[in-house]
Amino acid sequence: MLKVAVIGLGTMGPGMVARMARGGFEVRAFDTSDAAIDRARVMLPQIGAVLDQLSITPLASGEGAISFHRDLAEAVAGVDLVIENVPERIEVKEEVLRAISPLVAGDCVIASDTSGIPITKLQAFVVNPRRFVGMHWSNPPHIIPMIEVIPGAATAAEVVSFISETIKGLGLIPVLVKKDVPGFVENRVLYALLRECVDLVDQGVIDADALDTCVSWGIGYKLSVIGPMALLDMAGLDIYQSVSGYLNADLCNAATVSDAITSRTAAGRLGMKTGGGIYDYTPERIKELGAERARKLVATRRVLEGRDTP
Ligand SMILES: NC(=O)c1ccc[n+]([C@@H]2O[C@H](COP(=O)([O-])OP(=O)(O)OC[C@H]3O[C@@H](n4cnc5c(N)ncnc54)[C@H](O)[C@@H]3O)[C@@H](O)[C@H]2O)c1
Ligand SMILES: Cc1ncc(CO)c(C(=O)O)c1O
């Protein structure tokens, strides 16, 4: 049985912990915050119910044990894989990786769930960079099956294979990112899209809720079935060439973050986690949205996997 430690139990942690335990791994869950540990404990049953709805059943050998830890050495002792999952600030990741690295066995693999900090940069913070790799999950991690695998400059080929096979062994989908570029692939695409969306709302081209409807029921819906490269062939490369010819130069290419975002974060409006961001949320509405989105994501995934042919 694979032994895994997840370091950081915030937005991503509980779903990762539950998903790997469901795959039979022994999972050690660590956070420096008691509140985060308590929240993760509370979330596990509801995450498990979503995994049941996805027909992601425990292996015959049963679900892996989950243990919670406040002592880092205890959390990572004897594990095969450590997943660093702390805030997306390189100074925090450096501190955590430098703390973890001397505590693990020589053959232990350390992976980062970073959203886009180059793996080669993070490799500088561990004793054995050959055993360090990017393992970028997507939110919500217990539902989205695709995980990016990103080798850094020093990552050993067998470590890439190990992580890819581990992901496959969970019934998830590893995608190899061949070059260690900032943002990897998923977030480069997502952030190009988000930059354009924020700019369109900033310019008054469309209201925020109408933009969400436009993208979700237009390209979002389509891309869930037809990937971008396949879409080019469906639309016609001649159409893409003609439209790009006049549109590319007009797209947002801002190198800075919109004031609409920076003013909100400065005011503490971070989104659902603070009760308001682009939209406002009550605790009840957050719960409603969480359940509704999980239900819809589960139903969509079941259809995409061919489990529920309507
Ligand atoms: N939120 C997303 O949509 C998403 C998706 C994929 C990947 N990621 C990436 O995953 C990582 C974690 O993201 P998140 O959204 O879960 O962050 P988060 O801020 O929600 O949670 C971070 C957790 O780390 C804990 N923490 C802080 N310092 C710590 C330390 N020294 N040791 C152990 N725990 C510590 C915090 O208490 C918190 O519980 C980031 O690198 C992020 O970019 C985020
Ligand atoms: C806004 C945003 N930023 C990063 C990520 C993943 O690293 C996500 C996501 O997983 O959905 C995201 O929505």
* pLDDT at residue 310, as a whole number: 61
* Residue whose C-alpha is closest to residue 126's, from 159, 85, 96: 96
Q: Do 186-279 and 3-176 have the same topology in CATH?
A: no
Q: Is 165 annotated as a binding residue?
A: no
Tokens of 50: 């979503």
ipTM over cut 0.90: yes
Is the domain defined by 3-176 classed in CATH 3.40.50.720? yes
Output the tens digit of pLDDT for each of the chain's 310 residues.
899 999 999 999 999 999 999 999 999 999 999 999 999 999 999 999 999 999 998 888 889 999 999 999 999 999 999 999 999 999 999 999 999 999 999 999 999 999 999 999 999 999 999 999 999 999 999 999 999 999 999 999 999 999 999 999 999 999 999 999 999 999 999 999 999 999 999 999 999 999 999 999 999 999 999 999 999 999 999 999 999 999 999 999 999 999 999 999 999 999 998 999 999 999 999 999 999 999 999 999 999 999 887 6
| 278 burial via Cβ count (<10 Å: 0-12, 13-18, 19+) | middle
The SS3 assignment for 88 reads coil
Domain assignments of the chain as residue spans, ordered by start: 3-176, 186-279
pLDDT, residue 309, reads 72
> Is 12 annotated as ligand-binding?
yes
Q: Which residues pair with 4 in a beta bridge?
A: 27, 81
Closest CA to 102 of 124, 69, 73: 73
- CATH C-level class of 186-279: mainly alpha
In the numeric block, which tokens belong to residue 37?
A: 């540990």
In the chain the first and final C-alpha atoms are separated, in Å, by 37
Residue of 137, 187, 193, 212 with the most ligand 2 atoms within 8 Å of its CB, for mutation: 187
Contact 124 CB / ligand 1 (< 6 Å): no
Q: Which amino acid is at 225?
A: V
Q: What is the best residue among 138, 150, 224 to mutate for testing ligand 2's pocket, by most ligand atoms within 8 Å of CB? A: 138
What ligand is nearest to the CA atom of residue 85?
1
Q: Is 121 annotated as a binding residue?
A: no
Q: What is the pTM of this model?
A: 0.96
Evaluate: CB of 8 within 6 angstroms of ligand 1.
Answer: yes
pLDDT for res 194? 98
**Ligand 2 binding site (Cβ under 6 Å of any ligand atom):** 115, 138-139, 187
Peptide bond into 145 cis (omega under 30): no
**Ligand 1: does its nearest atom lie under 6 Å from the Cβ of 112?**
no
Contact 198, 257 (CB under 8 A): no
